Amino acid sequence: MKRILNVLLALTFFAPAFGQELNCKVQVVSPQIQGTTEKRIFENLQKDIYEFMNNRKWTNDVFSLDERIECTFFINVTEKISNDEFKGSIQIQATRPVYKSSYSSLLLNYNDNDFQFRYVEFQSLDFSLQQHMSNLTAVLGYYAYLIIGLDYDSYSLNGGSPWYQKCQTIVANAQTAPERGWKSFEGTKNRYWLVDNLLNTQFSSMRECMYKYHRLGFDLMHQDVNTGRAAVLDALQLLKKVHQAKPLSFNMQVFFNAKSDEVVKLFSGGMPDEKAKATQLLNEIDPGNGSKYLKIQQN
Q: What are the pLDDT digits (tens) for 83-125?
A: 999 999 999 999 999 999 999 999 999 999 999 999 999 999 9
Kindly list the strands in the beta sheet with 22-29, ordered across the sheet, starting from the edge strand earlier in the chain.
22-29, 69-82, 85-97, 104-118
The domain segmentation of the chain, as residue ranges, is 2-199, 205-298
Burial class (CB in 10 A: 0-12, 13-18, 19+), 241: middle
CA–CA distance, 266 with 271 (Å, rounded to integer): 11
Q: What is the pLDDT of residue 34?
A: 83
CA–CA distance, 15 with 13 (Å, rounded to integer): 6
Rounded-to-10 torsion of CA 243, 245, 249, 253 = -20
Listed residue (199, 242, 214) closest to 101, CA to CA: 214
Average pLDDT per 10 consecutive residues for the chain, totaling 299 residues = 46 47 97 90 97 96 92 97 96 98 98 97 95 98 98 98 98 98 97 98 97 98 96 98 94 98 97 96 96 91
Q: What is the pLDDT of residue 13?
A: 36
Q: Count H helices, E strands: the chain?
A: 11, 4
Helices (H), the chain: 2-10, 36-55, 135-155, 161-173, 191-198, 204-211, 225-237, 239-245, 250-267, 272-285, 290-298
> For residue range 281-296, what is the model confidence (pLDDT) as tens digits?
999 999 999 999 999 9
Burial class (CB in 10 A: 0-12, 13-18, 19+), 251: buried
